[in-house]
Amino acid sequence: MDRFAERRFDDFRRVLENGQRVDNPLPYRNELLFSPVFDHLSPSLSRWIADARGRILSTDQDGSPGGREWRTLLDRTDRRTLLKAAIADEQPPPLTVRLLGADGQRRWCLVRLLRMTGTDGLVRYYGTVEDIHDRQDREARALERALAESREHYRWSVELSPQVPWTAGPDGAIEEVGPLWLNLTGMTAEQALGTGWLAALHPDDLTRTIAIWSAHLESGAPVDVDYRIRLCDGGYRWMRARASARRDAQGQIVRWYGTLEDVHAQKLAQHALAESEERSRLAVQAARLGIWDFDATTGVRRWSAEFRAMLGLSEDQPATSELALSLVHPDDRETLRVMLDAVAAGAVPPHFEATLRVHRANDGALRWIRSSGWTTRSESGRALRVIVTFLDVTEQRDVEDRIRWAATHDPMTRLPNRALWQATLDEMAERQARTGDRFGLLLLDIDNLKRTNDSLGHDAGDALLCAFARCLAAIAPSDAVLGRLGGDEFGLIAPSLTEGAALEAWCAKLIESLRIPHVHNGRSIDCGVSIGGALFGDHGDRAADLLKAADLALYASKASGRGRLTLFHSDLRAQAQQRSSMIGMARKIIADRLVTPYYQPKVDLRSGRVLGYEALLRWHHPRLGLQLPGSIAAGFEDAEIAVALTGQMLDAVLRDVRNWLQGGYDPGRVAINASAADFARDDFAERVLEQLALFAVPPEHLEIEVTETVFLGRGAGQVGRVLRHFSDAGVRIALDDFGTGFASLSHLKQYPVDILKIDRSFVSNIEQDAGDAAIVDAIVKLGGSFGMDVVAEGVESAAQADRLLAHGCTIGQGFHLGRPQPFAVITPPKA
């Protein structure tokens, strides 16, 4: 909202010097150059520059409208004239137009302009505006007087006589009437005598006129009455009848002498003014405006009923400055005091505005009041009258506050959103950089919120978000600034947490408070949080650096198992750079098609016969040679990269399988790993089957290996559709790393899984760890009960192979049975 600025009255606080001569003329040099006094001696000249489209680029007048706002200073005719002249001629003749001044009045000005093309090739207009209003005004007044004299001469000479004289006896009977009565009414003087003149009166004025005339005949007081008379053409015209009685020596009325004057135009103007005032009054009431009317000459203040209602004042309370000041909010009181002082000193500008808070006198309610004031002045510039309108804008302010709040807050948790939180962080970082103070920053991620959304629905996830926000706000330091940064991520800035130990202690308190499960619709929901922390001054001297440090720490917390705080340290930046390097390298591998599949055999532990292969991703570094997938591990976390790598592996594997088949070899089933990102695409199965057809590879030679994480998430239904599409086409599905993730027995029943692969972590200790042996035994029996093949990964010794056979696992894969080899080295069995 606009505020009433004290500077608006600075121009009215100038004090003239006493005029004494000084020896040193230098202090007056600026006075000679810039004094407004010289504007009274010669017209003021303003310079301006506009672009080819007529937008004002610069002006030497402070506060002058720029851009296209100058158009509002001209009426439509002058605007068209100016634009037409600017287009038609490079240097048109000077134009006389009327410009709207700051006082709301139009002044005559002389505009000169020149169109030029600058060195940059752009067309610009250079011009001046010269104030010639006084000269033009004198000429206009002279012309107006001449016209008025001409009209008056015509009225006297041709149309009207200013007055119709008449006389009446002591009883009021008309005795004489001027000859122009006949011209006006068509009645002869004889017809008007006595009471005959009453026949010319308008019927609506007859009774009133007779009553007034009769009352004055009794009192002898002078008569002054308006009424309408019927003219020769049948119309009516307002006339003013005035008369005084001549008395004899004894005081008796001898005769009445009077005149009849045409006041029709004046009467119509009065009626029009009354109607205009009534319309204004109704408009003010409809707009709910209050009026404060100050007569600067008498010092009298008048407050309208609407304004008193705004302030909660009764009609009998006086309109004083002290009363107004007492109702204004203390923080806005000085603004009103400056305005009142300026009004009292006659130094108010032609127009001013202010928005103040007031406490209503009757109920103490806080209201926002917007005021707009206008000042009328005498020819000498002295303030005569100040009119101020007031409008209660409390509801509007409330709406604006709600809109502003909605733009800067998260509607669900009611915490500041990222924009407001980031702006606060930027401001705090700039301030603390100047003062040298420190503060702590934490980024917090709710663990497994997606799983809650997928398993219990988004209403449960939203309830968990709100519960977490309440918990966060409840235990946050009093000086903390909280924010929901998006999704499941929150932020906290706290000037009181300036040490790593303080951050750790507070985070431990938060993690402990979250151990109490949140209950939604009768179901308990666990809420964990991963936190990354950084300290301003230690880990960054700018907001962006500090936020990056906390983000790296948060990433480390999530990567290391979640549910913990990680404070930033320099190794995290190195790790981030390593991840970035991995992602960059993965993109280069894709761009240069450096992917090479290596094949590890799957062997029948009983006969040693190769049953098939698993295709493992390898790639050739130009300098370092063959590289394992771990060198680009971060790339697999990027969905786009993961899908592209799967696509290149599929092309290479199908090309090799086709070559084997064409050479008369039978590679069995070759397995290729697919990521969750692959299954997120609707057309994954269709694309794979199209590739099989393109390379002429029968579907029974392909296996798709998936991990348990593919079954989790919102797209579980789509995963099931894709897997069934594969199964129906003859492509077998293998569940990799079984027993290490979150897959349940229901997944084995729900999805068309053909093969269970026992994770190498259970196989490596099968000889020493009875628990691992029991798990292997359980998986083998589980797979048998579901009619699935069971493959043991990581078989690295004959003893492990024997133990697997003892538990009923007949298929193995590992270094003991065969290392991964490229296509050129492997020779599958003959078909």
Specify the CATH number of the domain 582-813: 3.20.20.450
Give residue 809's pLDDT.
94
Q: Say if residue 114's pLDDT is above 70.
A: yes
Number of H helices, E strands in the chain: 25, 31
Q: Say if residue 62's pLDDT is above 60.
A: yes
**Averaged pLDDT, 216-223:** 92
Give residue 236's pLDDT.
93
Tokens (6 digits) for 598: 């290596």
- Angle (CA) 795-799-805 rounded to 5° is 75
| Nearest alpha-carbon partner for 391 in 279, 283, 307, 304 | 307
Please tell me what DSSP assigns to residue 39.
Answer: G
Which of 94-103, 219-228, 365-374, 757-766 shows the lowest mean pLDDT across its residues?
365-374
Side-chain half-sphere CA neighbours of 46 within 13 A: 19
User: Contact 243/258 with Cβ under 8 angstroms?
Assistant: yes
What are residue 665's DSSP bridge partners? 830
User: Contact 711/718 with Cβ under 8 angstroms?
Assistant: no
Cα–Cα distance, 323 to 317 (Å, whole number): 9
Which amino acid type is present at position 341? D
The pLDDT-based confidence of 193 (bands split at 50, 70, 90) is very high
Cα–Cα distance, 330 to 326 (Å, whole number): 9
Give residue 579's pLDDT.
83
Which of 358-362, 542-546, 646-650, 800-804 shows the lowest mean pLDDT across its residues?
358-362
Within 112-163, residue ranges assigned H as helices are 133-154
CA dist list (Å): 759 to 751, 763, 775, 790: 20, 7, 10, 11
Give residue 604's pLDDT.
93
Boundaries of CATH 3.30.70.270 in the chain? Answer: 409-568
Give residue 675's pLDDT.
87
The pLDDT-based confidence of 144 (bands split at 50, 70, 90) is confident
Total Cβ atoms within 10 A of residue 287: 11
**Averaged pLDDT, 343-350:** 70
Give residue 423's pLDDT.
93
Q: Say if residue 821's pLDDT is above 90.
A: yes
**Could you report the per-residue pLDDT of 750-797, keeping only the tens digit for each?**
888 999 999 898 999 898 888 889 999 999 998 888 889 999 999 999
Give residue 20's pLDDT.
44
| Nearest alpha-carbon partner for 393 in 785, 2, 788 | 2
**Averaged pLDDT, 584-603:** 91
Cα–Cα distance, 599 to 822 (Å, whole number): 6
Query: 């907001």: which residue's tokens?
Result: 543
Boundaries of CATH 3.30.450.20 in the chain? Answer: 40-155, 160-269, 287-398
Tokens (6 digits) for 700: 């029974």
Class of the CATH domain delimited by 409-568: alpha beta
**Could you report the per-residue pLDDT of 454-477, keeping only the tens digit for each?**
777 888 888 889 989 999 999 999
Q: How many residues does the chain have?
A: 831
Specify the CATH number of the domain 287-398: 3.30.450.20
- Angle (CA) 804-808-811 rounded to 5° is 65
**Averaged pLDDT, 389-414:** 83
Please tell me what DSSP assigns to residue 155.
Answer: I
Give residue 352's pLDDT.
75
Handedness of CA 495, 501, 504, 506 (dihedral sign): negative
Within 10-90, residue ranges assigned H as helices are 29-34, 76-88
**Could you report the per-residue pLDDT of 64-112, keeping only the tens digit for each?**
666 667 788 888 899 899 889 988 889 999 999 988 887 888 888 899 9
Q: Say if residue 686's pLDDT is above 70.
A: yes
What are residue 400's DSSP bridge partners? none
Specify the CATH number of the domain 40-155: 3.30.450.20
**Could you report the per-residue pLDDT of 154-189, keeping only the tens digit for each?**
455 434 456 888 999 999 999 999 888 888 888 998
User: Contact 224/209 with Cβ under 8 angstroms?
Assistant: no
The pLDDT-based confidence of 715 (bands split at 50, 70, 90) is low
Give residue 16's pLDDT.
32
CATH level 2 (architecture), domain 160-269: 2-Layer Sandwich (3.30)
Q: What percent of the chain has pLDDT over 90?
A: 38
Cα–Cα distance, 184 to 222 (Å, whole number): 24
Which of 424-428, 552-556, 562-566 shows the lowest mean pLDDT across its residues?
562-566
The pLDDT-based confidence of 38 (bands split at 50, 70, 90) is low
Q: What is the dihedral of CA 116, 119, 122, 127, to 10 degrees?
A: -30
Q: Which H or E element spans position 756?
A: strand 755-758
Give residue 41's pLDDT.
56
Distant-in-sequence, close-in-space partners of 143: CB < 8 Å, separation ≥ 6: none
Side-chain half-sphere CA neighbours of 516 within 13 A: 6
| Nearest alpha-carbon partner for 13 in 386, 345, 354 | 345
Cα–Cα distance, 428 to 445 (Å, whole number): 23
Give residue 226's pLDDT.
92
Mean confidence (pLDDT) of the chain? 84
Query: Which residue has better confidence, 482 or 622?
Result: 482
3-state helix, strand, coil in the chain (%, to 5): 45, 25, 30
Cα–Cα distance, 758 to 801 (Å, whole number): 13
Give residue 18's pLDDT.
40
Total Cβ atoms within 10 A of residue 236: 17
The pLDDT-based confidence of 9 (bands split at 50, 70, 90) is very low
Q: Say if residue 600's pLDDT is above 70.
A: yes
Q: Say if residue 451's pLDDT is above 80.
A: no
Give residue 2's pLDDT.
40
Within 438-485, residue ranges assigned H as helices are 449-456, 458-475
The pLDDT-based confidence of 716 (bands split at 50, 70, 90) is low
User: Contact 56/129 with Cβ under 8 angstroms?
Assistant: no
Q: Say if residue 126's pLDDT is above 70.
A: yes
Give residue 428's pLDDT.
93
Side-chain half-sphere CA neighbours of 616 within 13 A: 18
Q: Say if residue 488's pLDDT is above 60.
A: yes
Within 312-392, residue ranges assigned H as helices are 321-327, 333-345
Note the pTM of the prediction, 2 decimals.
0.48
